[in-house]
Structure 1
Amino acid sequence: MELSGIIKKIGHSLVEIRVRALKSIMCKLEYSLISIPDIVQEKMLFVYLLEWFNFPEVPMQEEVLDLLLTLSKHPSAAQMLRDVEAEDFLSQLSANVEPRLRAVIDATLDQLFQLPELIPGCTPVFTQGLPNKPPTGGYFQKSMLKHVDQPPLKIPVHEAVKCLKFSVFPWLTLTNTDRHILSSNESSLRSSNPNLVRATCELLRDVIMQDFPAEIFLQRPNIAKTLLSLLRLGSGKGEASYLHLQALSCLRQLCVGLRQRLRFHRDPSFHSAKQGDTVSQNSSYSQEAQATQHSQASSPAAECSPRPSVVGGTGQRVRGDGQDGDAGSNSGSSHRSAVAAQTARQTPPADAGRLALPDQGLEDDPEMGLQQLTLAQFTVATLEHVIPLLQTDGSHVFCRVLELLFDTVLLLGDSICELVWDDRSLVGMELKEKLQTCMDLLADVLSYHQDNSSRSQVHHRVAYTGSAVFTIQFLQTILPPEKASANVPEKAVTAIFHLCLDKSFGMALPSMQETAVAYLEQLNSDSHELYRRVTCATLWMESTCSFLKEGEKNWPELLEMAEQAIEGLPFHEHLPVVKECVHFCAYLWKFDQPSPVLQTESQKLLLKLLSHPLLPVKIETYTCALDVVKECLGIQNMSRKESGLCSGVNFLLHHKVLYEISAFGLQDSAEKTTAHFLPDT
């Protein structure tokens, strides 16, 4: 019988498939369809049985350990277990299981540490009158040959899940009535009647999700999965768009409820008596709620009060199970509840069992528990379904989608840690792949709103900004910058690069753009260097414009802007700024008591212009300097009696400037440089 397919499924990432495959193997062994010798040579069977305990959900622990014990009694199977280092794994596992299971592990280890006398199938041969002939193939001989000729392949089995901060909530069972409520609403969500689907979504949001603990919808995930499937309907226009809004509202309410329940379970100061395991018809699944109801049962108003909320809730609302009545009347189900309560108080204990309501039957917890979603699975699935809806032309839909995404990413941070990028377990690798898919989807959304040339430019600009903010928060939640280079897809890298170059985004949200730049530096050094150069060029051009404008005479600021304007000359080549700089330097040297700092800095500025590598800039500098000299020392000033007319050339008389002119300006190979300056001097 071919067993490799079934054995492979024992290591599947879905717990339902693993359980079915294991049960199939055990049933075949039980009914002798296969035997132990048939499977002892399947090395991967032992690997998957050991890896069974590395998953977040580990059902049927006792059955797996019993199977390992049974297999270990066969010498070949014991050797296989030793080859995959089962003794180390089981020794570590023993400290993390219940005491009754430790005995099974200890028995298995005893089998592994026993050395068989003979290979299975080899029978000792005794000859009368001759000494016993040793077997031709013994355990040590086989082991020696195996280690010499073909070393065994060591298969790691210690890949535990390390990336989950929070996996699943404590299991809550439901009564028949509550299960009927959920199943009927699930059926209504799957209806082809859009009006019924719309009404069901409103009922879920306003009643059912207020009445039931939020984790119920992860432990019975059909409603959550149906809501996610509604987001894939149609093109997002007309009736489909309205259903999208209803589903988004329900999912957001579920996310809010999950965060509240998560805080409830994580509160370090939380102390309570043992909680019940049942969410009954009136949601009295905890001792706290039951105590509250018991204290209220003495008053007639309490007997007919509407269904209370989950633990900690005080509001009153309809139950949503078709059995609601007017809280102020004695008719309907409220009256029947009061009569039943009064009858129960008057009935002797011996007859109480005969009056038990039929809806108190409980479901099979282990079977239902195999279907539940972890918090991480729900949040990642929600992101995958919701992010594509950001590519919409409707502002209202976009806002609802963005609100849900921000609530979801908070849950993501509570359920997954940054170790997800290094986690080699099946769960970790699956989450990593889906998170990278979400990054690709966000890159598509940013590209869509950035490149869209439709009439609604304002909407697309707002949508681009909102999507960019969410993208940065998403990355900050799950991905440290130092791990970004190996885990961010190429499309997302391009989107982050464009985001860094977006000047208006940086002016509106500078901290967000700084975070994007930090990621870009780790993702692509070439793109980061290009971003840095573009940023510098932009700053230089802005400084050029500011310097040329007339404003208050704040000399240090003007001097700084002039220096930056000169740095930007290779980009804008706006030569009038050279003339302004020369006149600015000349002006700073005219004062009777000039500032030494300003003189020194302005002199450096002039020397940069005189030795600038661009020939047009150098020619313009010498031309402007010549014009200043002519204006200050020209013959037209003979009739003017103003003092200080000649002080305008002071900036050229410093020894450093004169050395630059005489040593380099006079010897310049460009004729235009000397033609504009030397003949007139």
Structure 2
Amino acid sequence: MALLGLIRKLGHPLAEIRERALKSILCKVEHNLISCVELVQEKLLFIYLLEWFNFPTVPMKEEVLNLLSNLVKHPSAVQHLFDIGAYEFFSMLRPNVDPDLQAEIDGIMDGLFILPSDGSSSYHQENETRPGYFPQDINNLQQTEVNQTVKCLKFSTFPWLPLTATDRHVLSSNESSLRSSNFTLVWNTCELLEDVIMQDFPPEIFLHRPKIIQNLLSLLNLAFGRDEQPRLALKAVSCLQQLCMYLRNRLNFHRDPGFFSFKQDIVSQNSSLSYSRETRGTHHSQNTSPGSSSPRPSVVGHIGLRPRGDGQDWDTLSSSESSTVPRPSIHSPLDMVQTDLRELEIEDTLELQFQQLSLPQFCISVLESAVPLLRTNSTQITVQVLELLAEVVILIRDSLSEDIWDDNSLFALDLKLKLFVVMDSLGETISYHKNNVNSEEPDMVMLVHHKMSFVSISLFTVRLLQTLLPVEKASQFLPESLMTALFHISLEMPLSLDYPNIHETVIAYLEQLNSENYTIYKGTAKIVYSLDCSCNFMTDMEKEGEKNLFELVEMANQAIFSLSYHQHFPLIKKIICLCSNIWKSAQTSPLLQEEIQKVFLRLLSYPLLPVKAESYHCCLEIVQNCLGINTVAISGHSVSHEVNFLLHPKVLYEMCTFGLQESKDGVLVGNIWRM
């Protein structure tokens, strides 16, 4: 986490902080405190090293390029640089730097196309021969290598579905329309995606060819724009939510044992070719000319049946409709395959499969783009984004396991980094709404919005943690902002009452994270429970009829913890009266007498002087009432039993030893004994 913190500072807006972070990393590399093998696993490092040249002030250009020259010799670094478009970046950067730095850039660009040798990389060899900063036995050094086996996946990618040229054109045209600057065109394209395209195509097609998804995610950035831009962002949210629902249905379809088959055809039965074969056999074109027939139903305004993206290939035909459908012509299976392969034309399937998104990658990408939208004053945006994220959590639960935190594969490391950023954003968002709730907001509408947002986002966050992060690993992987947010959630009384299971989970995480905050929570919870017992005790004492004395004594015992906060003196009088009533009867349980006596002694020895003085004053009133001449004349000697609780040795010892030391209490004790 220390290395990750330094890497993040490379992207700080202040040049001085960026420069210090770079010098720190270079120094650690020079003294072998950080190996290059560790650095090349951090994709974020390469992003910030390239962004280094995009700031207005660019110090230490040569040092940055030298570091990249050293790292580019490792295959992992080459892969990261290709992923972020480094070759195009350096091609544009080269003419804008000094001639002596152009040679360094040329070396980096050449390194991007050097194939790795069969043996170990130069960095592994270097680490085997060079001692560290602190002298060690080289034979005892254990080289840490990235494990390429991915262990954290429950479900990765859907079976590949090839597309016809017509289908590829449909997707390409919608993709380009989403990039348009014309508001109406983008809006209509989103509606077309929702109403037609996502129902015509199996939903995994959008993961296989993710450009439409990427364009929808980029539209989310318009949520804080002007005029009609937020509407476009919400429309994109709606499209993504619908896609998530279809993906969930499709995932259930693929996991259904009833549809499992060992047969692996060139053309999947769920592909667009399969749809088009069925279409040709069951539908006549409106135009009878051979050239007008399409291998697939028209995307807009088509008639008849169409394939849907919900895991069901076709709608059910009614008996009347099926009777009017002509029987398909009989073709040779070989003719069918040849026709399908011609429809595929030429498509680099291998390259496309490398570009596809796995289901976990799609989910994390949506989280990355959607979570920042929750920091808003718009209730509509908050509600729609949370509905989308609720669908995403279901997909994450079905595709990603808790083993991600122990998985050292490149795939898992990338997801962990992105999840850390998402959790950090969630923590900051929860604190943002919490602070606005606590502020003196004059607008009641906004106060309600922030309160509801705080509770709703908190619920989503905890459910995400329940899905992915075991409690025992919380202290290792939770960012500081989310730790603070969990502390705020633990103190939210309405949430604990309405969602007790969520609250228990929050407390479990809090106990693992921060002992100080957990201690504060435990103390606060104890006081809240004491206040609750105080109210219930006062209410029950006012009720007429038979009372449960054991429950009253227990509530009185708990009520004392909060006396210092409210100092409600009628509570003290009620407790002492209960003690008097219990002790005046000879048939009362000795255990009950002992328990109420403990409560009474705590009042007499209370650390706050006003509480202590009120306790002695209540005792004096009881003595005056019981032993007064008028009272004895009317009620007889039985009334004197009400002072029995004062005659016990423990009580007498407390009064004589400690009560007489206080000036005010000493006067009260003296008055009691004179009576």
Tell me the TM-score normalised to structure 1 length: 0.71
Would the aligned equivalents of 1:174 and 1:279 in 2 still touch at CA under 8 Å?
no
Cα deviation digits, residues 589-626 of structure 1 (max 9, x gap): 33463344432322222222233333333332222212
Q: Provide closer, same or farther for how the CA distance between residues 641 and 355 of structure 1 changes in structure 2, counting only shifts above 3 A.
A: closer
Secondary structure at the counterpart of residue 222 of structure 2: coil
Cα deviation 1:228-285 (Å, max 9, x = unaligned): 00000252564112212211111111111222222233334542363544479x9555
Query: Does 2:601 correspond to 1:611?
Result: no
Give the counterpart of 2:504 among 497, 511, 514. Answer: 514
Give the structure 1 partner of residue 514 of structure 2: 524
> Which amino acid in the other structure matches residue 600 of structure 2?
L
**1:172 — aligned with what?**
161
Please point out which of 213, 216, 239 is paired with 1:224: 213
* Corresponding position of 1:312: 312
1:398 is matched with: 382
Which of 195, 199, 212 matches 1:210?
199
SS of the residue 1:676 aligns to: helix
Higher helix residue share: 2
The answer to whether the Cα contact below 8 Å between 1:585 and 1:651 also exists between their aligned partners in 2 is: yes
Matches within 5 A, 1:151-190: 155-157=143-145, 159-160=147-148, 161-190=150-179
Partner of 2:21: none
Match of 1:254 in 2: 243
8 A Cα contact 1:11 1:18, kept in partner: no
Unaligned ranges ≥5, structure 1: 22-44, 50-62, 86-147, 318-326
In structure 2, what is the equivalent of residue 36 of structure 1?
none
User: What is the CA–CA distance in structure 2 between the aligned matches of 1:634 and 1:587, rounded to whole Å?
Assistant: 18
State how 1:82-93 maps to structure 2 within 5 Å.
none
Q: Deviation digits for residues 557-584 of structure 1, max 9, x if unmatched?
A: 3222211222222333333322221112
Contact 1:175 1:362 in 2 (8 A): no
Within 5 Å, give how 1:232-271 maps onto structure 2: 232-233=221-222, 235=224, 238-271=227-260
Q: Deviations over 1:95-147 (max 9, x none)?
A: xxxxxxxxxxxxxxxxxxxxxxxxxxxxxxxxxxxxxxxxxxxxxxxxxxxxx
SS in 2 for 1:486: helix
**Offset at residue 650 of structure 1 (A):** 2.0
Alpha-carbon distance in structure 2 between the residues aligned to 1:186 and 1:219: 14
Q: Which residue of 2 aligns with 1:28?
A: none
Q: Deviations over 1:525-573 (max 9, x none)?
A: 1000011111111222232233334335443332222112222223333
Q: Is the 8 A contact 1:231 1:386 kept in 2?
A: yes
**1:3 shift after superposition:** 8.2
Compared with structure 1, are the counterparts of its residues 211 and 570 closer, same or farther at alpha carbon in structure 2 (3 Å cutoff)? same
What are the Cα deviations for residues 63-113 of structure 1, in whole angstroms up to 9, with x where unaligned?
98xx63xxx7xxxx899999999xxxxxxxxxxxxxxxxxxxxxxxxxxxx
Aligned to 2:578: 584
CA distance in 2, matches of 1:19, 1:400: 33
Q: Percent identity over the alignment?
A: 42
The offset of 1:223, in angstroms, is 0.3
Answer whether contact 2:209 2:352 (CA < 8 A) is retained.
yes
What residue in structure 2 maps to residue 551 of structure 1? 543
For the structure 1 residues 590 and 315, does the alpha-carbon distance in structure 2 shift closer, same or farther, using more than 3 Å as the test? same
Whichever residue aligns with residue 262 of structure 1, its letter is L
Q: Could you report, residue by residue, the CA deviation over 1:46-77 in whole angstroms, capped at 9, with x for unpaired residues? A: xx99xxxxxxxxxxxxx98xx63xxx7xxxx8
Whole-angstrom CA distance in 2 between matches of 1:441 and 1:18: 23
CA contact (8 A) 1:665 1:673 kept: no
Query: What secondary structure does 2:644 align onto?
Result: helix
The reply on whether 1:7 has 2:78 as its aligned counterpart is no
Decide whether aligned partners of structure 1 residues 396 and 82 sit closer, same or farther in structure 2, where only a CA change above 3 A counts: closer
> Once the two structures are superposed, what CA deviation does each residue of 1:181-214 show, in whole Å capped at 9, x if it has no partner?
1001101111111111111111111221112122
Report whether the alignment pairs 1:675 with 2:667. Answer: yes
Q: Select the residue among 374, 377, 383 that pairs with 2:361.
A: 377
CA distance in 1, matches of 2:278, 2:449: 51
CA change 1:595–1:168 in 2 (3 A) is: same
Opposite residue 199 of structure 2, the aligned amino acid is Q
Q: Counterpart amino acid of 1:674?
A: G
**Contact 1:389/1:401 (CA < 8 Å) preserved in 2?**
yes
Equivalent pair of 2:223/2:234 in contact (CA under 8 Å): no
The 1:297/1:237 distance shift into structure 2, 3 A limit, reads closer
Report what 2:351 is aligned to: 367
Gaps of 5+ in 2: 1-67, 88-110, 129-135, 287-295, 298-302
Moved more, 361-370 or 391-400: 391-400
Deviations 1:164-192 (A, max 9, x none): 33222222221111110100110111111
Given that residues 379 and 412 in structure 1 are in contact (C-alpha distance below 8 angstroms), is that contact kept between their aligned partners in structure 2? yes
- Map 1:563-574; keep pairs closer than 5 Å: 563-574=557-568
Partner Cα separation in structure 1 for residue 340 and residue 259 of structure 2: 33
Seen in structure 2, the aligned counterparts of structure 1 residues 13 and 535 have a Cα distance that, compared at 3 Å, is farther
Q: How many residues align?
A: 546
Deviation at 1:6, TM superposition (A): 5.1
Output the CA distance in 2 between the equivalents of 1:527 and 1:449.
20
Q: CA separation of 1:596/1:356 partners in 2, compared to 1, >3 Å: closer, same or farther? A: closer
Asked if the contact 1:173–1:277 (Cα under 8 Å) also holds between the matched residues in 2, the reply is no
Task: Tell me, yes or no, if the aligned pair for 2:604 and 2:615 is still in contact at 8 Å.
Answer: yes
- Distance in 2 (alpha carbons) for counterparts of 1:513 and 1:376: 27
Per the alignment, do residues 406 and 598 of structure 1 end up closer, same or farther by CA in structure 2, a change over 3 Å counting? same
* In 2: Cα distance, 1:15 partner to 1:241 partner: 34
Which stretch has the larger CA shift, 563-572 or 404-413?
563-572
Which residue does 1:492 correspond to in 2?
Answer: 482
Cα distance in 2 between the residues matched to 1:79 and 1:258: 44
Deviation at 1:153, TM superposition (A): 7.3
CA contact (8 A) 1:236 1:244 kept: no
Could you say what secondary structure the match of 1:433 adopts? Answer: helix
Secondary structure of 1:593's aligned partner: coil
Match in the other structure for 1:126: none
Whole-angstrom CA distance in 2 between matches of 1:587 and 1:596: 13
Question: Paired residue for 2:64?
Answer: none
TM-score computed with the length of structure 2 as normaliser:
0.71
Q: Which moved more, 1:150-159 or 1:368-377?
A: 150-159
Distance in 2 between residues matched to 1:533 and 1:489, nearest whole Å: 25
Q: Match of 1:429?
A: 413
Query: Cα gap change, 1:529/1:643 in structure 2, threshold over 3 Å: closer, same or farther?
Result: same
SS at match of 1:172: coil
Deviations along 1:400-456, one digit per CA (max 9) or x if unpaired, are: 111100111121222322222233333222211111111121122212222223431
Moved more, 194-203 or 415-424: 415-424
Residue-by-residue CA offset, 1:327-347 (whole Å, 9 max, x unaligned): 99x9xxx9xxx99x76x86xx
Give the aligned CA root-mean-square deviation in angstroms.
Answer: 4.1
| SS class of match (1:174) | coil
Report deviation, 1:350.
11
Residue of structure 2 in register with 1:58 after alignment: none
CA distance in 2, matches of 1:81, 1:573: 70
Question: Separation in 1 of the partners of 2:631 and 2:340?
Answer: 119
For residues 352 and 83 of structure 1, what CA distance do their matches in structure 2 show?
Answer: 58
